[in-house]
Amino acid sequence: MSSEDVLKNASRLASYNVLLQVMFRVLTFLLNAFTLRFVSKELIGVVNVRLTLLYSTLVFLSREAFRRACLSGGSGTNHSWRQVINLLWLTLPLGVLWASLLVCVWLWLLEVPDPQTVPYYGPAVVLFALSGVQELLAEPLWVLAQAHMFVRLKVVAESLAMIAKCSVTVALVVSAPEWGLFIFSAAHLVYTGFLVLCYGVYFIRFLGSKEAEKSSFPLSCVGDLLPCRAEGEALVDWTLARLTWSFFKQSFLKQILTEGERYVMTFLNVLSFGDQGVYDIVNNLGSMVARFIFLPIEESFYIFFAKVLERGRDVRSQKQEDIAIAADVLECLLKLVLVIGLIITVFGYAFSHLALDIYGGSLLSSGAGPTLLRCYSSYVLLLAVNGITECFVFAAMSQKEVDKYNLVMLALSVSFLLLSYWLTWWAGAVGFILANCLNMGLRILHSLLYIHRYFQSSQWKPLRGLLPSPLLLLVLAVSGGVTSVSESVFCCDSGWLLRMVHIGVGAVSLLCVVVAVLLTESRMIQFLDVQEEHSNG
């Protein structure tokens, strides 16, 4: 597959993933707004912080290293798919092991919530762990689908699973609110079960079909999806297994950085369950755009960079056409996420209070919620840049460099935990966001230095994508000032008429920013037009 074809498929995958994440976030947004009217914020805190942390830790540590290794360097061509499938099935026993360990920790080492306020905590812990193990049954199928760019499969599977989860949650919250945590654990089991079912049904129908034969799919029957030894081959590709081990060691550290605030809240008890619930709701609101746009782009273009670049080789020893495309894509992606991040930071400051008041009423807007959301708006900018820079770095690093980066991640993890504890003691929940910002800045700095060294001996300078035009910066600064004054005059204790005036001021300011982008960032606009053509194609 040529670099142009890979870029086309990656663009289409990114578009579908953006659509999927938008649907997920909208459904979750509405679901949280709905459940807030029926259950306590303490129960929301236990579900969204502690139980979700159990599930995310289990699946991340069980599969993330395998995904990164098996999707690197075009595993479908450089490695035997039989060996790849065998390696991927190791995620299941690994998941069972992690589930057993984490359930023991969650039940016996952590503070147990008050059963009157948060009933059925013990069974919910077991069911959330079971849902994580259940999802790992589809892992070989997920990697096959990603590697061969089955872009619609992921959208359909996760959409159906999410709709089923929301339906079960709403039905049980209305009909049996006294079930407490049973409601959310049952809904999560339904979600992972639908994922496994959708992937299984698709591949059962696809394997052996004319479409599979036409595309020269490497597997021919359902039995090929099960682990077995091929004649004349080792059980697994040991080069791929060693790369997996390198990523596996790194996954501990990355998980701490990704979910660090939840670990601090869960293990150090710096916030009550109710405060954890409010923080998590604000965190979800603040991360909506990041998950809508940045995460799908990062996931999709990691596959693009991993297929186009030859891992561990310098720029001069690779195909110059591939390097040129990769550098151009990286520069445009950096410019895209930077512009979006700056817009979110500027307008998030003036509209955080109004957004929380509309969403959750005085429960969210009367306390520290608006300050939390304003800080998170700035953090989104760092999230955006880090996602793209690390996406490129992880695709280009050699195994030795990945191992070396593990030491960097270790230092960042330790510093993050210390900063989180100290800053939370000093500034409350805002301390979590400040600690995240500091650590994200250090990760970005490391990635930028790597990218600079990577392209230093070439003619390409993709880091220019981090330099927005002076006119755009001026318009953003003026818009930030105007909307801040508008908020103080028209919002948010006044009636809806004055609130609409504030919204109107924001809309006009945003329109001016968009015009400035169209006038000054023509190369980025051209890149987006090309990706849209690829997506539609």
Whether pLDDT at 254 is above 80: no
In the 8-state DSSP scheme, what is residue 107?
I
Tell me which residue has tokens 């959208």: 155
Q: Which tokens in the block code for residue 203? A: 């591949």
Q: Supply the pLDDT for residue 532.
A: 64
pLDDT winner (highest mean) among 117-121, 126-130, 452-456, 485-489 = 126-130
Confidence of residue 74 (pLDDT cuts 50, 70, 90): very low
CB 417, CB 257: distance < 8 Å: no
Q: Supply the pLDDT for residue 127.
A: 96
Instruction: Measure the CA–CA gap between 302 and 466, rounded to whole angstroms.
Output: 19
Q: Which tokens in the block code for residue 530? A: 């090309």
Whether pLDDT at 244 is above 70: yes
Whether pLDDT at 134 is above 70: yes
Cα-flanking dihedrals φ and ψ of residue 523, to 5°?
-65, -40
Q: Supply the pLDDT for residue 44.
A: 83
Q: Supply the pLDDT for residue 78.
A: 52
Q: Supply the pLDDT for residue 187.
A: 93
Q: Which of 22-36, 58-72, 482-496, 513-527 has the lowest mean pLDDT?
A: 22-36
Q: Which of 110-114, 172-176, 211-215, 243-247 has the lowest mean pLDDT?
A: 211-215
pLDDT winner (highest mean) among 12-16, 205-209, 472-476 = 472-476
Whether pLDDT at 492 is above 80: no
Confidence of residue 124 (pLDDT cuts 50, 70, 90): very high
Instruction: Measure the CA–CA gap between 202 and 155, rounded to whole angstroms.
Output: 13
Instruction: Measure the CA–CA gap between 222 and 245, rounded to whole angstroms.
Output: 28
CB 75, CB 257: distance < 8 Å: no
Q: Which of 176-185, 227-236, 436-445 has the lowest mean pLDDT?
A: 227-236
CA-based nearest residue to 45, from 111, 98, 97: 111
Q: Who wins on pLDDT, 74 or 398?
A: 398
Q: Supply the pLDDT for residue 77.
A: 43
The mean predicted confidence, pLDDT, of the chain is: 83
Q: What is the tens place of the pLDDT at every residue in 146-159?
A: 888 786 788 788 88
Whether pLDDT at 469 is above 80: yes
CB 277, CB 41: distance < 8 Å: yes
Classify residue 449 as exposed, middle or buried by CB count within 10 Å of its CB (0-12, 13-18, 19+).
exposed
DSSP per position, 437-502: HHHHHHHHHHHHHHHHHHHTTSS--GGGGG---HHHHHHHHHHHHHHHHHHHHH-SSS-HHHHHHH
Q: Which tokens in the block code for residue 142? A: 């997920």
Tell me which residue has tokens 């990945």: 402
Whether pLDDT at 367 is above 80: no
3-state SS, residue 404: helix
CB 376, CB 282: distance < 8 Å: yes
**b/e string for 49-64 if b means 16 or more Cβ within 10 A?**
bbbbbbbbbbbbbbbb
Q: Which of 74-78, 159-163, 310-314, 356-360 has the lowest mean pLDDT?
A: 74-78
CB 244, CB 66: distance < 8 Å: yes
Confidence of residue 318 (pLDDT cuts 50, 70, 90): confident
> What average pLDDT does this structure show over 209-220?
79
pTM of the complete model: 0.69
CB 399, CB 366: distance < 8 Å: no
Whether pLDDT at 327 is above 70: yes
Instruction: Measure the CA–CA gap between 365 and 50, rounded to whole angstroms.
Output: 24
Our measurement of the distance from residue 278's CA atom to the centroid of its chain's CA atoms, rounded to an integer in Å, reads 21
Tell me which residue has tokens 């980066």: 405
> What average pLDDT does this structure show over 136-148?
89
Confidence of residue 76 (pLDDT cuts 50, 70, 90): very low
Instruction: Measure the CA–CA gap between 73 and 70, rounded to whole angstroms.
Output: 8
Q: Which of 2-6, 307-311, 393-397 has the lowest mean pLDDT?
A: 2-6
Whether pLDDT at 514 is above 70: yes
Domain assignments of the chain as residue spans, ordered by start: 38-219+232-247, 263-465, 469-520
Q: Supply the pLDDT for residue 19.
A: 66
Residue type for 358, please? I
Q: Which tokens in the block code for residue 471? A: 């006119």
> What average pLDDT does this structure show over 369-383?
87
Q: Supply the pLDDT for residue 141.
A: 92
In the 8-state DSSP scheme, what is residue 521?
-
CB 285, CB 344: distance < 8 Å: no
Q: Which tokens in the block code for residue 272? A: 């009550």
Q: Which of 196-205, 301-310, 337-346, 513-522 has the lowest mean pLDDT?
A: 301-310
